Chain A
Amino acid sequence: MNMLDQTWYPVARADELTMRHVFQGQLHGVELALWRSDIGRVNAWENRCPHRSVRFTLGVNTGEKLRCQYHGWQYRSGDGRCTLIPAMSEVAPPSSLCARTFAATQVNGFVWVNLAAEDKASAEMTFLPSFEPLPLALRSLTFNASLDTVAAGLARYADGDRDALSGTSQVQRNDVEINLSWQTPSGERQVRFWLQPADEFKTIVHGSANLLGMGEPEALRWHNGLLTTLRRYVESRESPLARLPSAKPATSPRLIPIVQSTAQDSQLDGRTIIRTIVAERWNTAEEIAGFKLALPDGEHLDFEAGAHLDVHTPNGLVRQYSLVNAPDERDHLVIGVKLEPASRGGSRSLHESLQVGDSLTVSAPKNHFRLVPDVGGVLIAGGIGITPILAMSTALQHAGLPYALHYFTRSKEHVAFTDRLAGLDGLKLHTGLAVDATRDEVDRALREIGSDGHIYVCGPRPLIDLVCERASSIGIASAHVHFELFANEVSHDTDQPFRVRLQASGTEFVVPAGVSLADALKAHGIAVDTSCEQGVCGTCRIAVIDGDPEHRDVYLNEDEKQSRRCLMPCVSRSRSELLVLDL
C-alpha cells in the first residue's frame, strides 16, 4: 500500500464531529485531529502541534481555533496557521508556523480525507469516489485486522441474519467499497460498507443499509449486533494479520514532517518579497491612481479577496494597499492608491514617481479581512475603502452568493474603478451624502441582511464606527461584523536600511527598514532555510565575510557573536553600512 496514495477515504461520519469537539482519527498510520469550526468548516490536521509535537486531540476546539493544551498556541480553522502564541502575545506568529493540514470534505454524511493532496484547491477537484449511502447510516466499527481480512470477513455478513434465504447472498467488492444484498421473506436486504484503513492492522468499517420492516432505532441495533458478532469472528481467527485489542498498538503513528516553506518553493507567504513591474497606471478617480503590477515571469499568486500587500514606496517607506483583483485575476496585481496630503509622502511618491516600466517591490499578499465561506453579505465601502470591498463583492458574485455593495463617496468624481463596478449587479452607489443621510442608508442596508449574513466594511474610521454601532443596535452579533481599517501610520521604521554584497556573484542590494535580511535574500533568489523566524533555532545561519553584524538572535554564543563571522538573517541586521556575505 503506497504511503500516501491519491485516494479519498472516509474517516468519520459527519455527525461524529460534534460541536466544539476534536475527533481523533487515523488513516494509513497517520493520526488525525478532525474538527469542525462553528461555521461548519471541516478540518483534518495531522494530530501533532508543530511546536513540541503534542497531540492536538488533547487540545480544545474553541469554535474558530484549535488550541494546543501544552502552551495554549492557537491555530485557525481552514489553513491551519498559528494565530496566537500566548508566551509572546504581542507578536504575530511566524507565517511558516502552521498545522499540517490535509484536504477534507464532507459529502453525504461522511467526512473524507485525502492525505496526498498537498494543494487543497486542487484536491477539491480530484475525483472523489462517487458513492451513495443507503438510507440508514450504521454505527461505524473498528476492527483490529487488516483491510483485506476485514473485507473477506464482511462477505459473510448475511450469515448473521437468521431470516436470510440461503443461497441468495450476493457480494460485490470494489476496492474499499463492499456491497451486499440477500433475500428474506420480507424482501431484499442491502448493506453498503466503506473501509477505512486506519493502519496496517486496523480497519474501520463504515456502513449503511436499507430499512426493511424495521424502525430506525431497532435496525441500528440489529446491524450493530451483526457487525459486532462478525468482528469477534474476524478478530479471533488464527491469522497473522488479525489481532485482539491488546497492549501496544502494532505500529507507532506515522509522522509527516511539518513542511517549511523555503526559497525554492513557489508557495509565497506574507513574509516574502516580490519584485513587480508597473504594467499600467491610470487615474481611476479624483486623487486615486490605479496601478497594475506584473509579476515576475510565470509567477502566479494564491490569495483570497480582502488581501493586501506591503508596498515599498520609491521614497523608502512601506505602506499597505488592498488588492482589487477579481477571483480569476492571479497573474498580476491591481491596487488603488489615494493621494494622502497629510502624511510622510509614501503615497505622493507613488503618484509622482512611479511610472510604467518601473520596478516596485511588494510583499506577497496577506489577508486579515477574509470573507466567511459560503455565506453572502452586505458590504460597505467609504472612499478608498472600496479597494478590498470591490474584490470581495466580485468574489461573492462569482460564487453566486447573495450580496449588496453600498459604496459611499464624496462625489461622482471620487468613484473609483467604475469599469469593474459596472459588472456588479449588487452595487448601490451613494454620492455626496451628509452624515444623517449616510446613517439612514446604512440602517437600510443592514436591515436587508439575512440571519446568516455577514457585514464587511472598509473606509474611514467614522464610517466603520457608524456601521458597528448601527449593527449592534439592531441586534446583529459582533462576530458577524468584519472591518478593515486603513491606518496611515506604518509599523515601526526604526530599523536602518543597509547594503548587502554577496561575495560569490558580487550582487549588491539594499535591505530596507522593516524587511528582514532573510526575506531580502530570498527576494533576490538566494535560498535561505528558515524555521522559527525569531532568532532562536539556528536554522538560517549564514557566514559573514565583512561588516559589523547587529545580532538580535538568542542562538549564537558570545564567541560566535563577537567573531562577526556569522549571523541569523531572520532577525539580525548590520551596524555597518555594508555587510558582505559568504553567499
Chain B
Amino acid sequence: MITLYDYELSGNCYKLRLFMNMLGLDYQKVGIEFFPGKEHKSDDFLALNPLGQLPVLDDDGFVLRDAQAILSYLAARYDTSGHWYPTGNAQSLGEVNMWLAFADGITGTASAARLHDLLRYELDADKARAGAHLLFRVLDEQLWFSERENAGWICRGDHPTIADIACFPYVMLSDEGGISLIDYPALRRWTDRIKRLPGFIVMSGVFETSL
C-alpha cells in the first residue's frame, strides 16, 4: 500500500495526488498539518524525512522524499506505457530530468513567493518573483516552440511526461504569489492542455476548464 504524507495546500504534494490519479493508483493519505502546526518539523516527521519537507511517499516500506524523485519512482514502477518517464531513451530521459530540475527552481521561486504572501514566510519575495518571471519566460518559449514542433508538452514527443506534472502546480498557483501569467500565453495554453488530460484532478486554487 502506498502512503502519501500530504498537505492539501502544498503544490508539491499535489504533483503526486495528480499523478497517482492519472495512473489510477490507490493510496492512502496521511494529513500533516503544515500550517499553523508546523507538523513537518515535528520529531516524528523528521524521523521520516530529516529535511522536514513534504511530500514523503512510503510504498510498502520504501520511503522517498522530494516530489520530483517520487514522480520518477512512481512512473518507473507503475507506468506500463513508459511514456511518463522514458527510461529507455537516454536523450528523452535527460530532457525530462532537465525539466524536473527546472521544476525545483519553480518551487524555489514561485512557491516561495506564495509562502511569503499566504503564510507570511520571511524571505525576499521580490527576488523570488523576479526569479519566477525569468523561469516562466524560458518555459513559455519552450512551450511555444513545442506547440509548433511537437505536441505542446514540455519535452519532445506526443505524450506528456512527469516534467509537465512537476511544473504545473506552482505555475497554476502563481497568482497567489503575486506572479501574473499575463506575459506567458503559451504557458497559459499549456495549463489548459494539462487540465484536459484523463485523470486530471484539482486542488484548492485550481479550477477545471471546458472540455
Q: Residues of B contacting A58 with CB < 8 Å?
A: 207
Q: Which of A21-29, A181-189, A466-474 contacts B (4 or more CB under 8 A)?
A: A21-29
Contact indicator B192/A20 (Cβ below 8 Å) = yes
Q: Does A162 contact B (CB under 8 A)?
A: no
Q: Does A583 contact B (CB under 8 A)?
A: no
Contact indicator B137/A245 (Cβ below 8 Å) = yes
- Measured CB to CB, the residues of B under 8 A from A are 125-126, 129-130, 133-134, 137, 141, 144-145, 148-149, 178, 180-183, 185, 188-189, 192, 207-211
CB-based nearest B residue for A217: B149
Q: Does A228 contact B (CB under 8 A)?
A: yes
Q: Residues of B contacting A135 with CB < 8 Å?
A: none
Q: Residues of A contacting B137 with CB < 8 Å?
A: 245
CA–CA, A24 to B180, complex, Å? 10
Contact indicator B192/A228 (Cβ below 8 Å) = no
Contact indicator A63/B133 (Cβ below 8 Å) = no
CA–CA, A31 to B175, complex, Å? 15
Contact indicator B145/A220 (Cβ below 8 Å) = yes
Within the complex, the shortest CB–CB distance from B122 to chain A, in Å, comes to: 16
Within the complex, the shortest CB–CB distance from B209 to chain A, in Å, comes to: 6
- Top 5 nearest A-B pairs (CB, nearest first) are A245-B133, A247-B126, A247-B129, A142-B183, A20-B210
CA–CA, A60 to B125, complex, Å? 30
Contact indicator A26/B129 (Cβ below 8 Å) = no
Contact indicator A244/B207 (Cβ below 8 Å) = no
Contact indicator B141/A228 (Cβ below 8 Å) = yes
Q: Residues of A contacting B126 with CB < 8 Å?
A: 246-247
Within the complex, the shortest CB–CB distance from A448 to chain B, in Å, comes to: 33
22 chain-A/chain-B pairs, Cβ below 8 angstroms: A18-B189, A21-B188, A24-B181, A24-B182, A24-B188, A25-B182, A31-B182, A58-B207, A60-B208, A60-B209, A60-B210, A62-B210, A139-B144, A139-B145, A142-B183, A202-B183, A228-B141, A245-B130, A245-B134, A245-B183, A246-B126, A247-B125
CB-based nearest B residue for A62: B210
In the complex where A220-B145, A220-B148 touch, is A247 in contact with B189 (Cβ < 8 A)?
A: no
Q: Residues of B contacting A69 with CB < 8 Å?
A: 207
Contact indicator A26/B130 (Cβ below 8 Å) = no
Contact with B along A212-231 (1 / 0, CB 8 A): 00000100110010001000
CB-based nearest B residue for A26: B182
Known: A23-B188, A60-B207, A224-B141. 12 other contacts (CB 8 A): A18-B189, A18-B192, A20-B210, A21-B189, A24-B182, A26-B182, A60-B208, A62-B210, A139-B141, A202-B183, A217-B149, A246-B126
CA–CA, A507 to B133, complex, Å? 65
Q: Residues of A contacting B185 with CB < 8 Å?
A: 12, 16, 23-24
Q: Residues of B contacting A142 with CB < 8 Å?
A: 183
B interface SS class: helix
Q: Does A296 contact B (CB under 8 A)?
A: no
Q: Does A114 contact B (CB under 8 A)?
A: no
CA–CA, A60 to B130, complex, Å? 29
CB-based nearest A residue for B188: A24
Q: Does A248 contact B (CB under 8 A)?
A: yes
Q: Residues of B contacting A248 with CB < 8 Å?
A: 178
Within the complex, the shortest CB–CB distance from B205 to chain A, in Å, comes to: 10
Q: Residues of B contacting A63 with CB < 8 Å?
A: 210
CA–CA, A139 to B149, complex, Å? 13
Q: Residues of A contacting B178 with CB < 8 Å?
A: 247-248
CA–CA, A217 to B146, complex, Å? 11
Within the complex, the shortest CB–CB distance from A561 to chain B, in Å, comes to: 41
Within the complex, the shortest CB–CB distance from B126 to chain A, in Å, comes to: 4
Which of B130, B149, B185, B208 has most A Cβ within 10 Å?
Answer: B185
Within the complex, the shortest CB–CB distance from A10 to chain B, in Å, comes to: 13
CB-based nearest A residue for B133: A245
Contact indicator B207/A221 (Cβ below 8 Å) = no
Contact with B along A43-79 (1 / 0, CB 8 A): 0000000000000001011110000010000000000
Q: Residues of A contacting B192 with CB < 8 Å?
A: 18, 20-21
Contact indicator B210/A221 (Cβ below 8 Å) = no
CA–CA, A139 to B133, complex, Å? 18
CB-based nearest A residue for B127: A247
CB-based nearest B residue for A225: B141
Within the complex, the shortest CB–CB distance from B8 to chain A, in Å, comes to: 19
CA–CA, A24 to B188, complex, Å? 9
Q: Residues of B contacting A61 with CB < 8 Å?
A: 210
Within the complex, the shortest CB–CB distance from A226 to chain B, in Å, comes to: 13
Q: Residues of B contacting A247 with CB < 8 Å?
A: 125-126, 129-130, 178
CA–CA, A245 to B182, complex, Å? 12
CB-based nearest B residue for A34: B185
Contact with B along A102-133 (1 / 0, CB 8 A): 00000000000000000000000000000000
CA–CA, A20 to B145, complex, Å? 20
CA–CA, A219 to B68, complex, Å? 35
Within the complex, the shortest CB–CB distance from B186 to chain A, in Å, comes to: 8
CA–CA, A282 to B207, complex, Å? 59
Within the complex, the shortest CB–CB distance from A83 to chain B, in Å, comes to: 16
Which of B144, B181, B210 has most A Cβ within 10 Å?
Answer: B210
CB-based nearest A residue for B138: A228
Q: Residues of A contacting B148 with CB < 8 Å?
A: 217, 220
CA–CA, A422 to B126, complex, Å? 72
CA–CA, A565 to B145, complex, Å? 67
Task: Tell me which residues from 188 to 242 in chain A have a Cβ below 8 Å from any Cβ of chain B.
Answer: 202, 217, 220-221, 224, 228
Within the complex, the shortest CB–CB distance from A425 to chain B, in Å, comes to: 40
Which of A62, A221, A224, A247 has most B Cβ within 10 Å?
Answer: A247
CA–CA, A523 to B36, complex, Å? 60
Within the complex, the shortest CB–CB distance from B146 to chain A, in Å, comes to: 12
CA–CA, A20 to B182, complex, Å? 17
Q: Does A86 contact B (CB under 8 A)?
A: no
CB-based nearest B residue for A18: B189
CB < 8 Å neighbour of A20 from B129, B141, B144, B209: B209
CA–CA, A69 to B209, complex, Å? 10
Within the complex, the shortest CB–CB distance from A550 to chain B, in Å, comes to: 42
Q: Residues of B contacting A202 with CB < 8 Å?
A: 183
Q: Does A357 contact B (CB under 8 A)?
A: no
